[in-house]
Structure 1
Amino acid sequence: MGALFKELEGGVPRPGESPEECVARIQNAAEKIITPCGDGGLIWHVWGEGEPLVLLHGNHGSWTHWIKNIPFFAERYRVLVPDAPGLGNSAVPPEPHTMDEMAAIVNAGLDVIIPGKSFHMAGFSYGSTLGGYMAIQLSGRLKSFGMIGSARLTGQRTMVEGLINWKRLETEAERIEAHRHNLGVVMLSDKSKVDNLALYLQCNNAPRARVKSHKFVRRLTLPEIVKKIEAPICVYWGTKDQYYPFYLSAYEEQITARHISIETDIIEGAGHWANYESTDEMNAKLAAFFEFND
């Protein structure tokens, strides 16, 4: 494993490294595993050794939503990161799509890779919803669950204004600029934080999104799902996340009134994609949470 760990050193990206080179380096250091997903495969990338840690990416994403966090956690855990069903390079499952089905597919993959083992888990955005549905199917195997930017916990229709529909644009240059704009509007705290790596990841991930989560993730269900989870939960919010004010305004109704036991922690100045924008702080917070619940 020594040579593979060496490939994870030196930063994400390394000085002078292009986004393409960076992604290839981190990806080449992984073990690739394929488990069933409909008529195709669920694609997993796995780094490190030790106790398992499952990381779940956001909507219109892939394993690369966690690319800046993987080297840190691979020193401490066996890090398992799937491309969610119908996203990234994973196959599209049969319709009708439901969150229960999506969760069952990922959990079935875990049964193949780490049969019977307990593990920690963190989910970013849509990944926190997927992880919630996974958790209630896991029969006590989940040690702890970190939820980053979990917009569905608000129980509201949380629409962000000002996004550009890149699919309607004719040229590649226009689509790239639309992705840059959208990253600055919804993913990061402002447009100045959109670096070349973030833009490259978005341009590669978004076109591979073949399932439409807004069609099968029911708006008011996640708080009730979270209430059923037995493992400790901490919800992390960047203070500049567009969805954070919705969480605050809905907290009394959606969390307190339902007697849901969760912690809330903030990352000052970070946007929605806090694990990318404030990597070191997010890594430290998650690591402390996992260690406390070992």
Structure 2
Amino acid sequence: MTTRAADLHAAEDAGLLARLERMAIRHDVAHLGRTVVWRRFGEGTPLVLLHGGHGNWMHWVRNIEALAARHTLWIADMPGFGDSDTLAGDDHAPDRLDRLVQALMATLDHLVGEDSEVAIAGFSFGALVAAHMAVRRPRITRLALLGPAGHGGPRRQGQPMQDWRIDDEDEKRRRLRHNLLALMLHDEGLADGLAMAVHEQACKATRFRSRAISRQASLGDALAAYGGPTLLMWGEHDVTAVPVEVAQQLACGANHRDWCVIPAAGHWVQFERWQEVNPMLLRWFSEAGQR
């Protein structure tokens, strides 16, 4: 890429983030003395988007405008992430997932009404949270789970993560980029300014301890208890799972669950292959409300 092309690309990235910030209607909702921040976009049937671990609402940066053309998007910074407050209590408390789910449900119901039907798309740890919300909250019409955590199967991450919590800013960014490629993206060329801006900001603001929860095998039981239409999606090179094996495990014999693997994509599939993922999500949620 030439210097001029790189400059134009950087300007487009900055413009996208600024445009989304202007589009967002922010809602700060109190729950048990803490605040959960939601952002609303678009108009249409309600669709909740939940980010991954070490993430925030910008995990959906390449999907918001397409999905908002048909849906009212409700995008959370989950408790302990992004702009939302940290949950009360011990960071490693065994009930922290339950309390996170309860905080999201209570604040979402405050915004849309507890009798409202909503659909949910969740990414990574957020996909596991979405499944647990679907068990506990009535009137969840459909789920789409992208690179879902909580499957309990093998992972295939080849590169260890590097500690980026250091003072040297250049080395910090190098390590953050290493982690972005080790876990999130398959195409090194997409570890660009936009991906790095989202990744760095989200990592620095993460306080919730999600790793141990993500490694437990609770997703299958949650989906069985939910019983509603569910789309499972992975990138072909997702290092957090062996996609076909997990898909067959979770969807075998369940005709209300569909699954797909997106070629040439890593874990952050909705960012890396947004051109394919956005139309798929729009098709899937166009039938929201049908059970």
**Shorter-chain TM-score range:** 0.7 to 0.9
**Displacement of 1:232:** 0.2
Q: Which runs of 5+ in 2 are unaligned?
A: 1-7
Contact kept, 8 Å, 2:49 with 2:120, in 1: the verdict is yes
Partner residue of 1:165?
162
Contact kept, 8 Å, 2:117 with 2:140, in 1: the verdict is yes
Partner residue of 2:135?
136
**Displacement of 1:167:** 3.3
1:83-126, Cα deviation, whole Å (9 max, x unpaired):
01101111111123422211111111111111021011100111
Contact kept, 8 Å, 2:24 with 2:39, in 1: the verdict is yes
Instruction: Tell me the TM-score normalised to structure 1 length.
Output: 0.87
1:15-34, Cα deviation, whole Å (9 max, x unpaired):
66264443232112111101
**Displacement of 1:216:** 4.2
User: In 1, distance between residues paired with 2:18 and 2:247?
Assistant: 41
Give 1:189's aligned amino acid: H
Q: Is 1:284 aligned to 2:283, yes or no?
A: no
Q: Is 1:198 aligned to 2:206, yes or no?
A: no
Contact kept, 8 Å, 2:156 with 2:239, in 1: the verdict is no
Partner residue of 2:209?
212
Partner of 2:226, secondary structure, is: coil
Contact kept, 8 Å, 1:152 with 1:222, in 2: the verdict is yes
Give 1:239's aligned amino acid: E
Partner residue of 2:102?
104
Partner residue of 1:186?
183
Partner of 2:164, secondary structure, is: helix
Partner residue of 1:174?
171
1:33-67, Cα deviation, whole Å (9 max, x unpaired):
01124432101110111211101101101000001
Give 1:177's aligned amino acid: R
**Displacement of 1:253:** 5.3
**Displacement of 1:221:** 1.4
Q: Is 1:34 aligned to 2:34, yes or no?
A: no
Q: Which runs of 5+ in 1 are unaligned?
A: 1-13
Contact kept, 8 Å, 1:59 with 1:126, in 2: the verdict is yes
Give 2:148's aligned amino acid: S
Contact kept, 8 Å, 2:185 with 2:268, in 1: the verdict is yes
Instruction: Tell me the TM-score normalised to structure 2 length.
Output: 0.88
1:181-231, Cα deviation, whole Å (9 max, x unpaired):
111121111322211100111111101110111244561211111111132
Change in Cα spacing, 1:15 to 1:133, as seen in structure 2 (3 Å) is same
1:123-171, Cα deviation, whole Å (9 max, x unpaired):
01111011011111112x1111000001322x13636242332334331
Partner residue of 1:248?
244
Identity %: 27
Partner residue of 2:269?
274
Partner residue of 1:230?
227
Contact kept, 8 Å, 1:183 with 1:191, in 2: the verdict is no
Q: 1:78 aligns with which of 72, 84, 92?
A: 72
> In the TM superposition, what are the counterparts of 1:61-76 in structure 2 within 5 Å?
61-76=55-70
Give 1:281's aligned amino acid: E
User: In 2, distance between residues paired with 1:187 and 1:84?
Assistant: 19
Give 2:182's aligned amino acid: V
Partner residue of 1:3?
none
Partner of 1:111, secondary structure, is: helix
Partner residue of 1:9?
none
Contact kept, 8 Å, 2:251 with 2:258, in 1: the verdict is no
Give 2:85's aligned amino acid: A
